[in-house]
Structure 1
């Protein structure tokens, strides 16, 4: 495929379904060769790779458990081997668990931190061994770093606040190398994890300026834009893609 990302090589963590899959599709449509990781969604990963390939693009699925640092490292190395390098890293893998602080299970606390924060740091650290001076690192955070609309989200919000802080620090540290680091913070996006029907969805729409849920393509379009050559002067930014939820 040709497009604004032609000849660029991208890795997307957690890319087999939902927002991640749409990011893979968009980057491939815009010309990038893409490797993506998946956990339990082997069928979806195979289907996505075939779909992108049928459209003339490149999408390579790599099985990895984002909760395990050695698996993250291996997946980055495999992506580099398959693609011949890496220019764009999209840290999309993430999990959520909603529970009150009094009863929040410690194993879930550890899992959220491992996948939402540590895996992101590990992927960045490994990818930097192969990323050139025009690299792009795009982290997928959450508007819950800025606003927590209901109880039970304290730990999840904590991890996404960490993503925002990591983005700022990396932008400062990697700026001299010409590598940009930005944070895309989705609001209510219609996925399996966050359906646009139900009581929570009805409450969310009441505080959104646009009054509707977003689509995974809304996130993917912003990611693709931040990966392009013309955005080389944008770094350390936090892009709320939330239909006005945080206005």
Structure 2
């Protein structure tokens, strides 16, 4: 069976065509055009590319290009670097907050809270776009997946925005705690002074990101919806409710820092 015949029997392939003009002068390579019977950005199309690459029915090397192959290559490269990026972001965030807040508990709490908001945004993306519950309101046809680069991109952007709100709130609480030594009072004062600015800033960001859902491009809709949902969740449920509640419950443990670490870390007053 020739490669053309093999490809024509492949599930998900509609047609295979070749052109004599695309054969190299030495006759050792040729170009084939494969038309898929499934959407090029669907999981079924990716499976076709994987099967062709894994078991080519040809004596030489078979290389697959085009949008689906590019999508697959980007997906594999992104997945291979995901944990490295997440580890760097979490590690650097922890170090930065430990230096600024002079605490071990608060950086850990901030990371957990930020991951909660990001995870909730991922869930909404899957519900709305992968499961197609928003297909009607937003007028799109679901491919059964979200863009491969979106989770990692959204994680980096949202973690940066979340840290802004975190530092803004907790630094105000810390200032009041240093002045009074009363954690409950400090949390109340910090929340009273920062809740409105945080909510207003989040509303602006959510409006900007949310405007992307009016686009006719599915990728833009996914990015806009995911970022807007995460910002709203973080600035309301997480930053205004959960963070103050956890700090109130932790009480004096919020400010715990080992003496040896306190001596080793640089002192930054702002």
TM-score by length of 1: 0.27
Choose between structure 1 and 2: higher helix proportion.
Answer: 2
Query: Which structure has greater strand proportion?
Result: 1
- TM-score, normalising length: structure 2: 0.25
Larger Rg: 2
